[in-house]
Structure 1
Amino acid sequence: MLKIFSLTAILEGISYLLLFGIGMPLKYMAQIPEPNIYIGYAHGFLFMAYVVLAIVVCVEKKWDLKMFAILFIASLVPFGTFYVDKKYLKPQLT
């Protein structure tokens, strides 16, 4: 389950950067909203999957509420899921 969560964390981080780094500027600066629709759907799905998997992994690994809070807050911060993957998830995989 940790490998799936790690992959989801990376994909969620990429979708976050695509949405706010490419999708939003295209929508509001270039008046091209179409890419934002698809990127937004993908990001929304990946965000929900990330949060659900964070809950599952925290229960499975018996991590406390503080760890879940770190995982959740990381999903709201740009590059946060990359940090979580490198600091908390990758060491658990080896």
Structure 2
Amino acid sequence: MDIKTASALRRLRLISAPEAASFLILLVCSVLKRTTDFNAVPVMGYVHAVLFILYVIFWADAWNRTKWGAKTAAFYFVLSVLPTGGFFAERRLRHEAENAVIASRARREGVVETS
């Protein structure tokens, strides 16, 4: 994996959890708006919108660089619209990046996998 691909995956991973957290906070603010006089929806809506747009941009970049299939790309996109999906995306992307680093080091050192 080249450095640009690794960077794309890292950016997507790093935005996944904050995007998911902002979604959950926005949901809580929506409930509070309807049940109390507290209204933070405009602020949290803006914060979540910015994080979601960044997620989509980073997702598209990662899809382009990693050459994911349509199924994998759709999986990561669907995770972005689920309230806690970003947390699962972050964990899975971390494992994917770790496996890519291990494979890259093995190729560099000339280690051949045998099945």
Provide the TM-score with structure 1 as the length reference: 0.89
1:52 aligns with 2:41: no
Post-superposition offset of 1:93: 2.5
- Partner amino acid, structure 1, of 2:25: L
- Partner amino acid, structure 2, of 1:93: A
Post-superposition offset of 1:5: 1.1
Number of aligned residues: 91
Structure 1: which 5+ runs fail to align? Answer: none
Match of 1:12 in 2: 19
Larger Rg: 2
Counterpart Cα distance in 2 of 1:86 and 1:4: 13
Post-superposition offset of 1:32: 2.1
Deviations 1:53-75 (A, max 9, x none): 11100111111111111111111
1:77 aligns with 2:82: yes
Structure 2: which 5+ runs fail to align? Answer: 1-7, 99-115
- Counterpart of 1:75 in 2: which secondary structure? helix
- Partner amino acid, structure 1, of 2:9: L
CA RMSD across the alignment: 1.1
Post-superposition offset of 1:84: 1.5
Match of 1:26 in 2: 32
Provide the TM-score with structure 2 as the length reference: 0.74
Task: Detail structure 1 runs of 4+ shifted over 3 Å in the superposition.
Answer: none
